[in-house]
Amino acid sequence: AHDKIRESLLLELGPAERQQLHLELARALESTYPGSPAHAAALAEHFQGGGELAKAAFYRVAARVHALSQGATEAAASLLTAALAPQTRGLLPRAQAVRAYNGVVQANQALGRFLPCMEMFEQLMTELGYPPTRDLRLLLTAGGALLARQLRGVTAVPLLSEEDRQVASEAAHAMRWATETYVWAGRPYQSIAAALHGAELAGALADKGLQSYFLAVFAYFAGMAQLPAASRLLLDRGSRLLAAATSSRAELDFNRVAGAHYMNVAAWERVKQTIEPLLTVSRQVGDEHALTFGLSCRLVASFREDDAAVFEALGPELYEVSRRNHSGQFARTYPIYKAIRCLRAGDSETAHRLIIEAEGYLKASQDAMGQVLVGGNMALCQLRLGNEAGALRRAQKTLDVIESVRLSSDVFGEGISAVCEVYLDLCEAGSVTRQQELAAPLRRALAAIRRCGRLFPSVAPRALLWHGRQAWRHGAGRLARQLAAASERAAHRLGMTFDERLAQSWQQRFAQPEPAANLSLPAELSRLVQLLARGFA
């Protein structure tokens, strides 16, 4: 039993004898602890030493998936990626390879590493014979057929062999993680495609929990398409399936997506009704991924309602849980929204420090949602600090990102609004030459917030107001006041008190004479002629 004695004895063993002992030990462990995740690492080690490389690769994947379930997300992501490298991928049977793909997709999504997550998922889809498609027409056709089957209760053809069921189950769960990743990346069409395949596999498996999840995803996108009746129908159908599911994970997954849907449609009370039980259950079962998602959703809702008490109560917990789990996409939520609150209060120095912190978490994920939210507000912060050149660089960079993606969440709105504000402020204070230079990017920014406001009600008040500012700049005071009044009504209806007060303050400003100080001489003469003509009419 003494370490030194054991080391000495092992040194005396020849290679063949050592290999045989590894193999005997591996087979004994396999027989004594069949299917035990806790022994997978030891089995991988001894089968490797015993020369059975295929079995070693099999148990190595099992060990890494087990490590992922125990919270060793960083290590699992790295080791599972290595297991799928070309030199080792061929050692894995089909079902175990798909299991490895599911594990690495899940690990990268949890860590907020969205680019490698999407790359590994698309590699999996290609191996399964589902090459990624970007054809919207094909997606809509396939989606319509699937939804029709789901709503009629038509079940998919069941899978018969155990291997096929294992492959389908692992693939469907990978599609679940990828569905959310594509939303973060501003790629809703790819998200829909992943959900379509996942729903088909969930139906073939008769997995009611997974089916309910994907119905919630379809409700999310139906809400974006301004189809409230379809959203309600899909959520109701998902709820009925969920009632027949047995796992708390299924309930948490469904409520996460339902909560995100209610955020997008600005139904704050429904957000609370959905997320509060999710927080309770996730704490009870120790699901910190669901907990971070729920805290983030609830925090942003309190930000929109200007509920400082809830914001400050939940923010530190979200920050701590996210950092503990290395979830950068959620760790940045509290700092960036706190920075926006500081900007609104005029504390640009504190805001700048918080945005820099949020940007640090963005470096790993590089997701479009974060790039727009953080980049837009960094541009506005730099402008408030007097760095006009820096503000313009960040605004332009953020605008390029906005135009390169499709908006997939209302979170984009606060970043787009900040970009609009930068250009509007500079145009209102700048010379005629500066206004001409900024005219094109301002039009692009206003087009982006107009598009975002049509998709997401919470963005509409700011979209109306910023268009009012643009109208006022061009001498259309009556139109500006009408747009500001519409902004106030929309904000009041949604319970967004900051936006309501903002619209009221701009209405007072729009009641003043339209700006004319920066008009060119010909324009001033033209206006004078018009005034004289009206005076003599």
Alpha carbon distance 380, 395 (integer Å)? 8
Token readout for 292 is 């971070």
Give the three-class secondary structure for 420: helix
What are the pLDDT digits (tens) for 254-267? 999 999 999 999 99
CB contact set of 76 (below 8 Å; sequence gap of 6+): 64, 65, 67, 68, 103, 104, 107
Task: Judge whether residue 210 has pLDDT over 70.
Answer: yes
> The pTM is what?
0.85
pLDDT of residue 161: 84
Which pLDDT belongs to residue 365?
Answer: 87
Looking at residue 526, what is its pLDDT?
59
| pLDDT score, position 524 | 45
- At 78 the three-state DSSP class reads helix
- Tens digit of pLDDT for each residue in 480-534? 999 999 999 999 999 999 999 999 999 999 988 766 545 455 654 554 455 445 4
Return the percentage of the chain with pLDDT > 90, whole number: 61
Write the pLDDT tens digit of every residue in 358-392. Answer: 999 998 888 999 999 999 999 999 999 999 999 99
Please indicate whether residue 290 or residue 18 has the higher confidence score (pLDDT). Answer: 290
Q: Is 236 exposed, middle or buried (0-12, 13-18, 19+ CB in 10 A)?
A: exposed
Candidate from 153-157, 184-188, 260-264, 471-475 with smallest mean pLDDT: 153-157
At 17 the pLDDT is 85
Q: Per-residue pLDDT averaged across 189-208, rounded?
A: 90
The predicted model gives 8-15 an average pLDDT of: 84
Average pLDDT over residues 267-275: 96
Write the burial class of residue 33 (CB in 10 Å: 0-12 exposed, 13-18 middle, 19+ buried). middle
pLDDT score for 537: 34
pLDDT in tens, 18-72: 878 877 887 888 788 887 777 777 777 777 777 777 777 777 777 777 777 777 8
CA angle 90, 93, 97 (to 5 degrees): 80
Chain centroid offset of residue 452 CA? 16
What is the separation of C-alpha 45 from the centre of its chain, rounded to a whole number of angstroms? 38
Q: Are the CB atoms for 372 and 416 separated by under 8 Å?
A: yes
What pLDDT is recorded for position 304? 96
